[in-house]
Structure 1
Amino acid sequence: MKLITYFKCSLALLLFAGMTAAVGEQACASSLDGSGSVNVVGKDISPPVDPEKPGNEVNPGEGPSTTGDLRIDFVSSLNFAAAEITETNRTYDSLAQLFHSDTAARGYYIQVSDFRSEPSGWSLTLSQDTPFTSSIIQTLEDQSLKGAVLSFGNGWANSAGNSQTPTVSRDTLAINEMNTAYTVAVAGSGQGKGVWTIAFGASGENTSNQENTLTALTDKNGNAIIDPIFNKPSYSNSAVSLSVPETINIYPVQYTTTLTWSLEAAPTE
């Protein structure tokens, strides 16, 4: 039997002339697809945990999730900080994950749980369905940000359990082909059991020898930029970024795309 868990996330990029506010919002739904049957014998819910201190539960706000013994518990929202539109240097760093608690800012992360009685392994993949597009632009050829690339780097796995660690690619995952599944993490037989976080980027306080990819955001006067939802200082995360070619026209409109995360169980004999 092969079990596949999907969810699709709509990612929006809002651009303004002069000062740019690039903001991504996710609105996700989940569904299960596969043959055979699934018996739920493990924990039904695994609350989100701190990717740098996975023994600590955290409150990152609402996020998409799936159900079952093998499931996705949480995925960070993908947002981008305000930036000025220029003709060059069109790379936008994402915002770091914040929490409704004393937990400091963290990198973008996905939480996976595997509570199957016989964990045969799993794979986590990511694909982008379409380029960033805005249908309100009158010129058809300018409706898409052709060649814009979402990149995910500095990936690493963490857990409070003692299961063997799944493999996360250390190479930067650059999504330059639409509708192509890119492998994010793979757990072999006996690996990745329990609750695992797959993070892209880390704070300077991490104790796992991960590079610090977070930078505090300030305004032109050097004051901290406060996130209105979490009421905390905002940080950028250079591990996740969007690059837009200099040859592409950018308009002051909202562009959207859809990302698909897939968690697939390894086939059993």
Structure 2
Amino acid sequence: MPVMEPNLDTATLRAWAQLVDRGPFSSLCWGERIAFDNPETLTLLGALAAWTDRVRLVTTVIIPQLHDPVMLAKALATGDMLSGGRLTVGIGVGGRHEDYRAVGADPATQTMRQMAERVAVMKRVWAGEKVTDSTLPVGPPPVQSPGPELLVGTMGPRTVRSAASWADGLAGTTMDLDVAKQNELFDVARDAWREAGKAAPHLATSFWFAIGDGDAPREQVHRHLLRYMNWIPAKIVDAMAPTTGWAGTQDELRTVLRRFAEIGTDEIHLIPTSSDLDQVRRVAEVAADLV
């Protein structure tokens, strides 16, 4: 979903969701920010559940430390119910202290341990345990038992290893589309999950994309990064932009996706850098060839 793009309205968001739902895609993803003008993640979850029927709905990522864990568990269980059990929850610690401060959260809680503690509370809520002295436990129960699939949002091996005890897989990010480096992280996950006695992890990664001809796609990525990375000095973003994310033609995207498939990637979450629906249509043509 193009949630980090400017001037969004209901019609644009609904059109994106329904086009993705009709296409060859496996999931519909969107991320969380607080101190920005993007739609609020959990509110949007309810709308996306109503606007779609097929694709999985994936938060990439939501930050538990920005929420009360019991309320977050209740909201996500409601989203799972409304979507008929199509919710996957990508979880991360976030990269911006301003989001923590905006909701009165302590930036000192921006750790894997603090995140894991909140995940443990959420799992207890989904299991129907009474986590307070209330008469009844907090509901509704999620459709999926024992709860929605959980993916850890990370780019580092240490985080991957620490999440093996509670996560079902990865919702990673690659800045430079280095397939070999991504495979190294996947191997860390494969080993960690095996050592934890768990089934093989779901291996997903993501990158910014712009599809088209000539210089326009790379310029589109650059514009998006300047807006999205507004906490970083513009000159640093300018230096990053030529090699961050992916920009190119449909044939070039097809090649990139095949390279990631070869290392066992289960899913690629493509991050939009424009709200133009033609971007979805052109990617759908590529994805249809790979199904």
Fold shared per TM-score above 0.5: no
**Structure with bigger RCO (C-alpha 8 Å, 6+ apart):** 1
Higher strand fraction (1 or 2): 1
Using the size of structure 2 for normalisation, the TM-score is: 0.26
Larger helix fraction of residues: 2
